[in-house]
């Protein structure tokens, strides 16, 4: 019953938005004045989900799961609910690092196939980038100062733009048989309020981080002429302090999605204080996003190994019970790598029943609930 109710509920909400808000259909609120019609439609429909429904997503969901890998049209989420997530996270690390051209091409083709599969089903693709340290050549966890070196005039700027060229080539390649450029949500330099990535707060100034973000957007949007990108900003937890969220915000002209990654404060459903802080933070982000015609999202979250079987319904009810926080358009949990590292239940897991209840909530939207409607407007 939930599937039927949700499909019509979703379409009814979008129809109302179209019929009673004609100006918002033709207006382009993305930061790209040349955004493709499918990209504008996705932005519009995600924004208009606020308060009506929340897309559920998972990282690498089609690629592998617990006890399987590379099986077509399979995900752990679908194994339990009968439907894939509505949103899929992928990472671009392997296609833009100092590796052989053969390995980079193979990685790009693999991720491309999953992005096209997700789009053809009606799903949303969001891309993160765990990018290598350009100064040392080591991975993203090497916190040797790097940002100043890759900005214009820096000694590693050419290496950075070469990596961006690879990202641009990949995003440009995301086209259907009919030549439609597949819209993507690009989420670079995430969790920058933490201290675990080289672009983190302790390792660059406020001005350097903003300059890095702005240059990246200008390079992809203006120099490479990519018009199928929605740009997402996603610090780590801010514990209800919105000033911390905005400290390194690159500006409304450079951000489409105001996101937020929070594992720590949402990891324990018995920790009321932490959860309340997380919900407060989400609400603050939603309030700002609504005031600026932008999308709000919980871009990464989850409880590793789901040690509390009712985690999903408890956390979702907390978020949806708050007038402001309930206006997020999507939430995404991390990947199901193996039995020691997973964030969505799999068949036989104690959290399976709770996840089915979460799925059956009329306000959770999975693939079966949306079809291709996210890429269309009247």
Q: Is 191 a catalytic residue?
A: yes
Q: Stretch 331-360: mean pLDDT, rounded?
A: 98
Whether residue 32 lies inside any domain: the answer is: no
pLDDT band for position 16 (cuts 50, 70, 90): very low
- Span 45-80, pLDDT tens digits: 999 999 999 999 999 999 999 999 999 999 999 999
Whether residue 269 lies inside any domain: the answer is: yes
pLDDT given for residue 97 in this prediction: 84
Catalytic hit among 104, 191, 208, 265: 191
**What is the SS3 assignment for 231?**
strand
pLDDT band for position 21 (cuts 50, 70, 90): very low
Q: Check pLDDT > 80 for residue 163.
A: yes
Whether residue 26 lies inside any domain: the answer is: no
pLDDT band for position 9 (cuts 50, 70, 90): very low
Number of independent structural domains in the chain: 1
- Span 74-92, pLDDT tens digits: 999 999 999 999 999 999 9
CATH number at residue 9: 3.20.20.80
Domain hosting 307: range is 2-21+37-375
Whether residue 28 lies inside any domain: the answer is: no
Residue 376 has φ and ψ, to the nearest 5°, of -130, 145
pLDDT given for residue 289 in this prediction: 98
Residue 136, Cβ neighbours under 10 Å: how many? 12
Q: Stretch 161-181: mean pLDDT, rounded?
A: 97
According to DSSP, the residues that pair with 296 across neighbouring strands are 258
Q: Is 155 a catalytic residue?
A: no
Whether residue 31 lies inside any domain: the answer is: no
Q: Check pLDDT > 60 for residue 365.
A: yes
Catalytic hit among 300, 304, 352, 357: 300
Whether residue 30 lies inside any domain: the answer is: no
Whether 271 and 237 have beta carbons less than 8 Å apart is answered as no
pLDDT given for residue 98 in this prediction: 78
pLDDT given for residue 12 in this prediction: 47
Burial tier of 18 (Cβ tally within 10 Å: 0-12, 13-18, 19+) = middle
Q: What is the mean pLDDT of the chain?
A: 93
Whether residue 93 lies inside any domain: the answer is: yes
CA torsion angle for 262, 32, 130, 54 (degrees, to 10)?
A: 30
Residue 126, Cβ neighbours under 10 Å: how many? 25
């Amino acid at each position: 019953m939930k599937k039927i109710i949700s499909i019509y509920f979703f379409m009814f909400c979008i129809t109302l938005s179209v019929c009673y808000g004609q100006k918002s259909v033709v207006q382009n609120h993305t930061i790209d004045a040349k955004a493709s019609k499918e990209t504008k439609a996705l932005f519009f429909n995600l924004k208009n989900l606020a308060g009506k429904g929340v897309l559920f997503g998972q990282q690498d969901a089609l690629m592998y799961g617990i006890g399987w890998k590379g099986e077509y049209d399979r995900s752990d989420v679908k194994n339990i609910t009968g439907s894939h997530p509505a949103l899929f996270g992928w990472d671009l690390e392997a296609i833009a690092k100092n590796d052989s051209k053969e390995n980079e091409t193979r990685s790009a083709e693999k991720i491309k196939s999953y992005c096209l599969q997700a789009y053809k089903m009606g799903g949303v693709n969001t891309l993160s980038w765990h990018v290598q340290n350009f100064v040392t050549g080591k991975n993203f966890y090497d916190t040797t100062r790097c940002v100043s070196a890759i900005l214009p005039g820096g000694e590693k700027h050419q290496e950075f733009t070469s990596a961006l060229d690879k990202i641009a080539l990949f995003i440009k390649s995301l086209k259907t048989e009919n030549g439609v450029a597949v819209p993507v949500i690009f989420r670079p330099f995430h969790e920058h309020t933490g201290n675990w990535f080289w672009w983190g707060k302790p390792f660059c100034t406020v001005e350097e981080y903003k300059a890095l973000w702005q240059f990246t957007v200008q390079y992809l949007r203006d120099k490479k002429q990519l018009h199928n990108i929605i740009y997402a900003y996603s610090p780590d937890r801010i514990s209800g302090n919105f000033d911390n969220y905005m400290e390194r915000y690159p500006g409304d002209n450079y951000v489409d999605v105001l996101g937020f990654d929070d594992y720590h404060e949402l990891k324990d459903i018995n920790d009321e204080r932490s959860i309340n802080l997380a919900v407060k933070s989400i609400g603050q982000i939603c309030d700002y996003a609504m005031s600026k015609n932008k999308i709000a999202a919980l871009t990464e979250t989850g409880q590793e190994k789901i040690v509390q079987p009712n985690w999903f319904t408890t956390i979702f009810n907390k978020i949806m019970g708050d007038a402001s926080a309930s206006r997020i358009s999507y939430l995404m949990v991390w990947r199901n790598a193996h039995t020691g590292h997973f964030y969505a239940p799999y068949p036989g897991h104690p959290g399976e029943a709770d996840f089915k209840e979460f799925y059956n909530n009329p306000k959770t939207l999975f693939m079966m609930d949306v079809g291709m409607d996210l890429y269309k407007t009247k």
